[in-house]
Every structure is written in structure tokens, then in C-alpha cells.
Structure 1
């Protein structure tokens, strides 16, 4: 299975935010659009904290997503970190991600 590519284009971000399915979980927001391509992005705004905290939040989300990447359908995914992400243990974060992906309907 080929790995996910990065989403780099601002227009693509805007399309996913506008037209995609959205689900709020504890610690994150999941955006998903069905597509033939497999693309993925992680976003942490300055509201999450300083650079060190934002980078840790992005690493946690990236790691949790790649734990379940073989179970998800093709599409474009954006994970947005919430401010509460730093207080959540990794296993709970991963469980919340799986639950949110099931609710959106993108787990095979």
C-alpha cells in the first residue's frame, strides 16, 4: 500500500474545509473528502501553544493516524489539533481518532 502524500495547496485545504465531512473528537477535528488520491495533513494553530507544543501535537496526530492508515479508505484527510490535545494520553487520542473516523464512515 502506497503511503499518503502531503496536502500542500491552499486551494485544496479550502476545498476540504468547505466540502468535507467534519467530526469533532476530544483533542482534534477530523476533515475528510472521498477521493482517488491518498492525501493527509496535520494542522496546529497558534492557539494550541508555542512552537514546541504545536510540533508535539502534530507528531502525536501524525503517529495516531499512521497507526490506522491501513484501515482507512482513500481520500483526503486533515487533522486539526485542539488546545486540549496536550492533556490527553496517546492511547486515548488514538482511540478517539478511530472512533471519529468510524463516525465519518471512512474506515473500511
Structure 2
């Protein structure tokens, strides 16, 4: 799994459940962004089978991780889960970054 910058990977299903239940959520064109304010710095990119086959899902997750990594210095500490939408495959990387930046701003995750 690894990590993104100084953000650790989320591996415990209880953390996922807690974030889904009580986190701030924002839908953008490329993903659904969940943010739970915390002293911990955790991150996970998720792509369901609705996205496509394993190659396509991994491609979507790589793009989300890269866009998140480029903005990691501008966001506050917390737990982030990004769930890819099918449109991410056809979007340019700049559009993905712009969408995530907007989503982080809307859910109050920007420093």
C-alpha cells in the first residue's frame, strides 16, 4: 500500500467506517472526497469495480494519489478518503487537480 508524502495508508476497516459515517463529504467530477479532521495524517484512494477492470482501477487510483500528493502541503492534517468516479479515466490530470483543490476548499481541508 505505502503512503503519500507524510500521509500513512489506511489499513483498518474501522477507520474507513468511522470516516464514512462522520466525515465531511464533497462530490466533484472525478471523485467523492471524505475528510475527517484529526491529528493523524492518513490517506486512501479507492476505486470500485464500477470503474472498470483492475488495470483501469489502478490507473484511477494512481491519478488520485498523484493529484493528492501535489496538494499535500496546502491541506491540513486529517484522514482523507478519495473514491474515484468513472469520469476520472477521461479527464486531464490538470482537471483532476483543479477538482480536488476545489473539493478540499469546500470541505474545509485547506490551510
The question of a shared fold, defined as TM-score above 0.5 by the shorter chain, is answered with yes
Partner of 1:20: 23
Deviation by residue 1:3-58 (Cα, 9 ceiling, x = unmatched): 00010000100000010000000010000000000000000000000000000000
Partner of 2:38: 35
Q: Distance in 2 between matches of 1:6 and 1:55?
A: 16
Partner of 2:80: 77
Which structure 1 residue ranges, 4+ long, deviate > 6 Å from structure 2?
Answer: none
TM-score by length of 1: 0.97
Partner of 2:57: 54
Give the total of aligned pairs: 107
Q: Distance in 2 between matches of 1:54 and 1:28?
A: 13
Q: Distance in 1 between matches of 2:49 and 2:14?
A: 21
Where do 5+ consecutive residues of structure 1 fail to align? none
Where do 5+ consecutive residues of structure 2 fail to align? none
TM-score by length of 2: 0.95
Describe the SS at the equivalent of 1:29.
strand
Residue 10 (structure 1) aligned to one of 9, 13, 25:
13
Partner of 2:99: 96
